[in-house]
Every structure is written in C-alpha cells, then in structure tokens.
Amino acid sequence: MRNYRDLIVWKRSHEFVLTLYRLTNEFPKREVFGLTSQIRRAAASIPNNLAEGCGRRGDGELGRFVRIAMGFASEVDYLALLASDLGYLPEAKYMEVVSELNEIRRMLTGLFKQLSPPIAH
C-alpha cells in the first residue's frame, strides 16, 4: 500500500478538481444537475481512483486504477469541450483546462509505465 498523498499526480489532479469546481460555479444554474455535476464527478474521479488504487495491494491493482483514472481524464476532456462549445467555458479557460489535463494524462501514463513490469523478449 502506498500513501496517495505522496503521488505528485494525485496532488496535481486534486488541484485540477478544485479549479474545475471554481470554473463550474460560473455555469448556468440550469446545468447544476447536468453538465456541472457530470464534469465535477468525472474530474474528482481522477484523484479518487489514484487514492483507491493506493489502498489496494500491489502495483498491478494500482495500475488498474491508474488506467481507470485515465478514462475519467478523457471524459473530462470531452465535457470541457462541450462546455466550451456551449459557451459556458471561455476559450482562454478552456485552453488552460486542456493544458493541465494533458499534463495530468502525461503523468498518469508515466506512473502506469513505472508500475508495469517490462515485457521480456
């Protein structure tokens, strides 16, 4: 078992969730049970899955939760695009979200590779 708080990618993704919560506060109130809720849940699922994976036994299980976190990162990517296209997320903020999300994805990929055993040839 690892302490998820020691993972830089967890810290980064947690900060990302806080940022998205602030940004989605500006979404129309009619979206509170729609897009606002969905993007918040998907974003929070990234660090949540890292925390859950760290509570499991072994690198294999953590790797599985890292892959799940990657899936949620893709979901957030689409939801941010949708929010932008609907005019809820200004272009500059959208670009910041995508940039940070791409960095988190890069970090998740690096962590996954670190956890995966090398393939013997």
**CATH code: domain of residue 48:** 1.20.1440.60
Give the HSE-up count for residue 105: Cα atoms under 13 Å, Cβ half-sphere. 14
Q: Are 47 and 17 in contact (CB under 8 A)?
A: yes
Residue range 28-60, pLDDT digits in tens: 999 999 999 999 999 999 999 999 999 998 898
Residue range 88-109, pLDDT digits in tens: 999 999 999 999 999 999 999 9
Cβ-based neighbours of 73, under 8 Å, separated by 6 or more? 46, 101, 104, 105, 108
In a domain, 67, yes or no: yes
pTM of the entire predicted model: 0.93
In a domain, 61, yes or no: yes
* Phi, psi for 22 (deg, rounded to 5): -65, -45
Number of domains in the chain: 1
